[in-house]
Amino acid sequence: MILSVTGLVKTFGSVRAVDGVDLSVAAGETYAVVGESGSGKTTLARCVLGLIRPTSGSVLVEGDDTATMRPGDLRLLRRRVQIVFQNPHASLNPRMTVERLVAEPMRLRTGSKGAALRDEVVADLDRLGLGPAHLSRYPHELSGGQLQRVALARALALRPRLLVLDEPTSALDVSVQAQILNLLADLRTHDGPAYLLISHDLAVVRHLADRVGVMYRGRLVEEAPADRLFAEPAHDYTRRLLDSVPGRGRESMETAHGVEP
């Protein structure tokens, strides 16, 4: 298992944002966590990334427990898990060029410098469909789709074992969303990382996911292979989620607010 989450609880004051979640992601697998806003899926992702400490429960990355690690080791462990955020305009340092943005993690992995480092950056960007003309650009000079490719290049430069995708397409123009989704699907075939996809967009989930966990009020209420979940949802809440979407699972399900399971 690349990722094993056991009995994860995270409370903020009296709010139990994540309330006893168990899930695991195998190598090469895409696991989608779906749920409405406030269901705890982003908190779950932040715990997996080690950005916040869980209140209880454990997060194991390739068998190593993040909770018992010393800060220095935790820093290195984090490099095995990377993230692509929802809004690439906010997730890339506006004062860095594309080259520097990708070179920063690349150098951590390869230790290269100068021209060799630049070649590695160019090669990775090329794989993601960005030519060398973009190297000297700043984020504000690129489109949302191009920026999300840069964010992907930055995350993949460390060759992580697990890539957390936090609503990776929902801030993008509809015309660009499909390109990024296809890119994500393509990357998975080349010995790439496992994906933990956080989304409320059922079309995205259907396109990418192998298995789906449905999150509601901090708990995973249903977990099933993607085909089965869409074909025959077992849990009442899941059914309502799917029904709440016009055209059944083709668009957002944010409208399912407040539905009781």
Residue choice 35, 40, 54, 105 for contact with other proteins (CB under 8 A):
105
One-character DSSP codes across 174-223: HHHHHHHHHHHHHHHHTT--EEEEEESBHHHHHHH-SEEEEEETTEEEEE
Strands 56-61 and 64-65: antiparallel
85 contributes a contact to other proteins by CB under 8 A: yes
Residue choice 70, 140, 191, 260 for contact with other proteins (CB under 8 A):
140
For residue 10, the cross-strand partners are: 18
Nearest distance from C-beta of residue 40 to other proteins, angstroms: 18
CA distance 12 to 94: 31
Return the number of the residue (23 or 49) whose C-beta is nearest other proteins: 49
Nearest distance from C-beta of residue 172 to other proteins, angstroms: 15
Is the torsion defined by CA of 48, 50, 55, 56 positive or negative?
A: positive
CA distance 104 to 86: 21
The 8-class DSSP code of residue 261 comes to -
Return the number of the residue (49 or 165) whose C-beta is nearest other proteins: 49
62 contributes a contact to other proteins by CB under 8 A: no
- The per-type count for the chain, helices as H runs and strands as E runs, is 10, 10
87 contributes a contact to other proteins by CB under 8 A: yes
195 contributes a contact to other proteins by CB under 8 A: no
Residue choice 138, 187, 192, 243 for contact with other proteins (CB under 8 A):
138
197 contributes a contact to other proteins by CB under 8 A: no
12 contributes a contact to other proteins by CB under 8 A: no
Residues in the site for other proteins, rule: CB under 8 A? 49-51, 75-79, 81-83, 85, 87, 90-96, 104-105, 108, 138-140, 151, 154, 158
